[in-house]
Amino acid sequence: MTKNLYLLVLLLACSVVTRAQQRPQYTQYIFNNYLLNPAVAGIENYIDTKLGYRSQWTGLEGAPVTSYFSINAPIGTDFLEGDATAFPVSGGQYPSSRMYTRDYRASEPHHGVGFMVVSDKAGPITQTNLSASYAYHLGITDRLNVSVGVSGGFNHIILNTNQITLENPNDPTINNLGPNQWRPDIGVGIWAYSSNYYFGVSAQQLLPQNLYLTSGPTAQQSKSSPHYFVTGGYKIFLTDEVSLLPSALIKFIKPAPVTFDVNMRLSFQDRFWFGGSYRRNDSFAAMAGFNLSSFVNVGYSYDMTTSALRTVSNGTHEIVLGIMLNNRYKITSPQHGW
């Protein structure tokens, strides 16, 4: 890699850290809202495990690559053994059914816990986030639950100086780089959900941090920025077995401008779905997935870049594998995540 290209990658990475979104971007967050909101932990009546991989702007050397593992589960005998929204062991009505919506009742009060590991690599910078979360779910009406959650953990930032080549290898700027940093991290969230809608507000990276890229009297700093998310979705029945699920996400990350995603998904019973997404000033996406059994489901998305990067990018690929552990009611589709 040439000197100029390394400098460009480094400048772009620093620009991301200092002025734009510092957390990874996802297209299929709508199937794992736990990525953005700790209040979602324990929302389903099984252990919800997700593995995700995202290759952004393929074809562009040094482009972001994100992978993650998340797991969350409910705690509480009343919820696990006698949840009012639970299906009988045979599976009962699938979540897309009008019958399920008509008979829906808010779940019993219960706790939720979760854990997540996210690794994001962009050029010479690799950021790994480790976080654990707790949530409490309470039924405030016969058909509406509200949960609150908090997450805490650490961000580990590594700068691989071996990937940076300059004309002068003794450049003091490079020699003074801080290549390895650990930073504490806190997030909070609130989530309201019923049989055919949800609404959530969350915040990540709430602890302000100075990220020193160099040391010494000429040190250049970049600051971490809080990330705020507002999201909601609604289920519209086209027939008893086919439903349309529009949703949206608004992101507030200063000093970057406010941005949003708009999603639309068509679901056929609880087995197959496809849809699309639009992210303001960034991309369009196509998505599809299968609920293969009461144990595993899979989703795939492809983002078509609309920004200036489209001239050097072949788009973005993202795949998510879901595993439902201890799924004692043998459901094949989430009851609350659709």
Residue 205 or 217, more confident? 205
Query: Which tens digits make up the pLDDT trace of 223-242?
Result: 778 999 999 999 999 988 88
Average pLDDT, the chain: 82
Residue 179 or 192, more confident? 192
User: Would the pLDDT of 292 be above 70?
Assistant: yes
- Window from 89-103, 107-121, 179-193, 298-312 with minimum mean pLDDT: 89-103
* Per-residue b or e along 163-187, where b marks 16 or more CB atoms closer than 10 Å to that residue's CB: ebeeeeeeeeebeebeeeeebebbb
When pLDDT is cut at 50, 70 and 90, the band that residue 201 belongs to is very high
If you average pLDDT over residues 317-329, what whole number do you get? Answer: 92
- Window from 23-27, 63-67, 236-240, 331-335 with minimum mean pLDDT: 331-335
**Cβ neighbours of residue 152 closer than 8 Å, sequence gap 6 or more:** 131, 132, 133, 184, 185, 186, 187
Highest mean pLDDT among 5-14, 44-53, 299-308: 44-53
Residue 321 pLDDT: 97
Please answer whether residues 291 and 274 qualify as being in contact, where contact means their C-beta atoms are separated by less than 8 angstroms.
no
| Structure tokens that stand for 268 in this block | 């056929």
| Structure tokens that stand for 134 in this block | 């707790």
Query: Which tens digits make up the pLDDT trace of 66-123?
Result: 999 999 999 877 676 556 566 655 555 666 677 777 778 888 899 999 999 999 988 7
